[in-house]
Chains A and B, each alone.
Chain A
Amino acid sequence: MKKYIYVLLVLAMIGGLIGYKMFNKGHAETKNVTAEFVLSPSELLTAYESDEAAADAKYLDKIIEVKGKIKSINEVENGGSISLDTGNDMASVTCEFESKDAVNGIKIGDEVTVKGFCSGKLMDIVLVRCSL
């Protein structure tokens, strides 16, 4: 009988440990995931401008890969972001990075390919947790 209690205890401990690990899990690295959609910044903007609800339904939370020219580089607290040119002055595609290092070594005018999770559109379309 005692043996079973020990086995049960060990099992409970393992279960607890797995639960704890899952609870504390960080984010999946965007780098290692393949993009679900590959399009240009202007195509993405057109999709959002013609029908925002439909674009949200299609792209929200999905990993999108865009290739474009860097219009601006912004430093934000504990991170950085870049804006990609869409051909429209008022709206660009903002790509947010989790660390400042990510935007080191690139400059305005560079052509880059960025992968990130689409979080929707305000003035800009925003991709978060990006990787270059």
Chain B
Amino acid sequence: MRKFFFGFYIFFMVVNVISGQKYFTKTGHISFYSDTPLEKIEGHNKSSNCVLDVATGKLEVATLVKGFQFEKALMQEHFNENYMESDKFPKAVFKGQIDNYSKLDISKNGKVTVKVSGDLTMHGVTKKVTTDAVVSINNGKIIADANFNILLADYNIKIPALVKDQIAKSLKIKVACTLEPLK
């Protein structure tokens, strides 16, 4: 009987440790910017998910394509229907890890710059992405910021000749997440 309880105790300790190693958010802010002399376009998604396993440095970011908000209704329509085809491909997902990961010390406030690499899947295409990310620890929360560029052509997103001067071939993507421990 005693052994049984001891087993139970160990089991819960393990569960505790495992669950304590994941940090996440459901309110991550992902935005993109297309900047040409003729037109500036930006879209924002403020309900993106991000999960970081602080034991291994593995992370996953996911966002709903239809959740991107634009200033102009027509832009949003074109983004969804013509370019991203969000009915067919409703999600964009990044799966990767912090390279050369050494465990983050959550108990101390501080800031480090790390390299993140992994696979970004959107519009039905998966490509390798590498970027720098700034990770800061602030009172038990992990704040992660990253900026990188992607080529629309890489993701099989075609720009009609008519608007080729209005839409940048390379988009700037910005990711800002504040992660809290997963309970």
Contacts and interface: CB of A to CB of B under 8 A. Distances in A.
Contact of A96 (B47, B65, B87): B47
User: Chain A CB within 10 Å — which of B26, B72, B73 has the most?
Assistant: B26
Contact of B87 (A28, A60, A74, A94): A60
Interface residues of A, number: 30
A25 interface: yes
Contacts, number: 76
Interface residues of B, number: 25
A120 interface: yes
B29 A120 contact: no
B141 interface: no
A120 B72 CA distance: 21
B105 interface: no
A122 B49 contact: yes
B47 A126 contact: yes
B69 A128 contact: yes
Interface stretch (A32-40, A75-83, A103-111): A75-83
Interface of B: 26-27, 29, 46-49, 62-67, 69, 71-74, 76, 80, 86-87, 90-91, 176
